[in-house]
Structure 1
């Protein structure tokens, strides 16, 4: 049950009740007690709404069947429409805030005909911290956690374990384990927030079901990669692109994203992609080694940070005399490094 500011509530474990004056976080609200007119922080699970802010009385809570330990939120008055049997997460800004400065609410969205049994973890520097667990009815969504934008800088990923259950005869779905990498710079760009069928406001939506292209690439072996490359070279249907370069004043800009370097990644493993990007990095530095004072910005993106770390390692190991620094945050976020030739 959703609890909003202005709702009249009753305490489940104590006598009395009051009105909700403030949403503290995903699990807690501030209640103005009717008896002494003091505000009390109270867990949502210890409250029942007796009258909504709009004056609509609420029916008694049904305690039979599966119960969720966190409040379930529906996007609209209509149920979610099942189309592809998919599960999503969404980062939604809170109403009343500027979209790039708002606290972010993390939702789990169940657009399937199954009940989800889920557990959710924050992942920081490889360690997982359990946040919440529960069940989610078909065609509904639930608020899992709320983050201050600054907290996301310390969060490397959100990790989920999900079981699918459907009463009666049904096809058994495989359990799901999924890690969604956090790229903090995305949350500061209004263009990252898109319109969806699940919310009235724009959100950042990620799909948990289905295979990511990175997972498929990992399955390809080195021999398969070499075979594909030989076939492409023979047929001449796919050729490497020239590195995407731009000149801004005295600064040379090099985009190392793989889709800016080659036409297709089909047949390439993650290791092969990284090797190709590093080779291009070395080629650019060799071409400009005699251009003293030349500034080169390498756009490596954020991702899981592997390419950025490799570039910095190579700079410390092979190009010690060159000066390196983070490129303009305003233009590139955390996704670029500037090298000055010396």
Structure 2
């Protein structure tokens, strides 16, 4: 069946219809749902045109064919249900803002044919707090919370409890509980934000349903995590030294930014990242502790000052015989410390 942008269509396997807004490919189009104004991708074979883009309505024979096709789908619905069961959360920057500098809005997206009854909690530090609860209609999304940059750095977990409801005859779906571990460093990477079908701008999307790799990574025990880190260190030892250590005259530059030390931060918490950075700091100090006169610049960045403070604390506690000072402001700003080995 030929379907064009602007055609008014009806869903064969569901109630309602909408306007075709985009041709995705030869078999799929995007439909703006009449009921909730939510755009959803739909197979052409599951749609029938009831009014063309120019306002011309389908003829009587086409209407009969529509009714016949609709009846056929309803008869087969009990044995061949066509139903999406995808639920997402999305961290969306404000439109027009640089994603890495914008406050982020947290949305719950219901891309199913069921009503969701949900509860949302977040965790900052050691405190889990209930933020909001309610219900969400099928094929729609709702704003749950908004976080400024300071709150994003403190956010460690988002927890969701979800019940599924569908009026009339329906199978009973098990409730969903999902704990999403948040890695704040991702919010500051442009590559974390992807184009998607739910928003006009790029967002950071997490799937709550299914068994994707993010869920499995979050379930790693501390023992497994440490094993993973040690294996990663062994594999990338030479590469890490080449990428994070640069000789400049008689000064050794050590970049402690996590992206210079490891390829991916997936599955790492803030504490894990800090531990990894400090391990690199101690490795370099041990390697050069007997090289008198050696000058080492540790590039820790400014950020929220946590890494800088930890590096200075360790220098005072374990390496107090060596001389430390702020590195050249002209070259590093306030984001580096120079140590002279004595």
Distance in 2 between the 1:296 and 1:254 partners?
6
Q: Would you say 1:323 and 2:324 are equivalent positions?
A: yes
Distance in 2 between the 1:91 and 1:326 partners?
37
Distance in 2 between the 1:298 and 1:217 partners?
28
Q: Would you say 1:253 and 2:251 are equivalent positions?
A: no
Q: Would you say 1:161 and 2:160 are equivalent positions?
A: yes
Distance in 1 between the 2:155 and 2:308 partners?
15
Q: Note the alpha carbon deviations across 1:71-119, whole angstroms, 9 max, x for none.
A: xx97x64236799844322222334556555553321122345543222
Q: Would you say 1:78 and 2:78 are equivalent positions?
A: no
What is residue 22 of structure 1 aligned with on the other side?
A: none
Contact 1:291 1:341 in 2 (8 A): no
Contact 1:324 1:338 in 2 (8 A): no
What is residue 146 of structure 2 aligned with on the other side?
A: 146
Where do residues 231-250 of structure 1 align in structure 2 (5 Å cutoff)? 239=235, 241-242=237-238, 243=240, 244-247=243-246, 249=248, 250=251
TM-score (ref. length: structure 1): 0.52
Contact 1:110 1:139 in 2 (8 A): yes
What is residue 105 of structure 1 aligned with on the other side?
A: 105
Distance in 2 between the 1:77 and 1:261 partners?
40
Instruction: Give secondary structure in 2 for the equivalent of 1:282.
Output: helix
Q: Note the alpha carbon deviations across 1:130-160, whole angstroms, 9 max, x for none.
A: 331112233321111234x455366424522
What is residue 220 of structure 2 aligned with on the other side?
A: 217
Give, in angstroms, the shift of residue 199 of structure 1: 0.7
What is residue 282 of structure 1 aligned with on the other side?
A: 282
Instruction: Give secondary structure in 1 for the equivalent of 2:284.
Output: helix
Where do residues 20-39 of structure 1 align in structure 2 (5 Å cutoff)? none
What is residue 46 of structure 1 aligned with on the other side?
A: none
Distance in 2 between the 1:292 and 1:316 partners?
18
Instruction: Give secondary structure in 2 for the equivalent of 1:79.
Output: strand
Contact 2:116 2:165 in 1 (8 A): no
Distance in 2 between the 1:87 and 1:326 partners?
49
**Ranges in structure 2 where 5+ consecutive residues have no aligned partner:** 1-34, 43-81
When residues 173 and 300 of structure 1 are mapped into structure 2, their CA distance, relative to the original with a 3 A threshold, is farther
When residues 91 and 318 of structure 1 are mapped into structure 2, their CA distance, relative to the original with a 3 A threshold, is same
Distance in 2 between the 1:327 and 1:164 partners?
57
Higher Rg of the two aligned structures: 2
Distance in 1 between the 2:245 and 2:263 partners?
17
Where do residues 91-130 of structure 1 align in structure 2 (5 Å cutoff)? 91-95=91-95, 102-130=102-130
Where do residues 304-319 of structure 1 align in structure 2 (5 Å cutoff)? 314-319=314-319
Instruction: Give secondary structure in 1 for the equivalent of 2:244.
Output: strand
What is residue 177 of structure 1 aligned with on the other side?
A: 179
- The root-mean-square deviation of aligned C-alpha atoms, in Å, is 5.2
Moved more, 200-209 or 176-185: 176-185
Distance in 2 between the 1:258 and 1:183 partners?
10
Give, in angstroms, the shift of residue 201 of structure 1: 1.5
TM-score (ref. length: structure 2): 0.52
When residues 258 and 93 of structure 1 are mapped into structure 2, their CA distance, relative to the original with a 3 A threshold, is closer
Instruction: Give secondary structure in 2 for the equivalent of 1:294.
Output: strand
Going by fraction, where is helix more abundant, 1 or 2? 2
What is residue 30 of structure 2 aligned with on the other side?
A: none
Q: Note the alpha carbon deviations across 1:268-302, whole angstroms, 9 max, x for none.
A: 9x999987765443221123333444312258999
| Count of residue pairs brought into register by the alignment | 249
When residues 339 and 164 of structure 1 are mapped into structure 2, their CA distance, relative to the original with a 3 A threshold, is same
Q: Note the alpha carbon deviations across 1:224-260, whole angstroms, 9 max, x for none.
A: 959x97xx9xxxxx84532332428555134574994
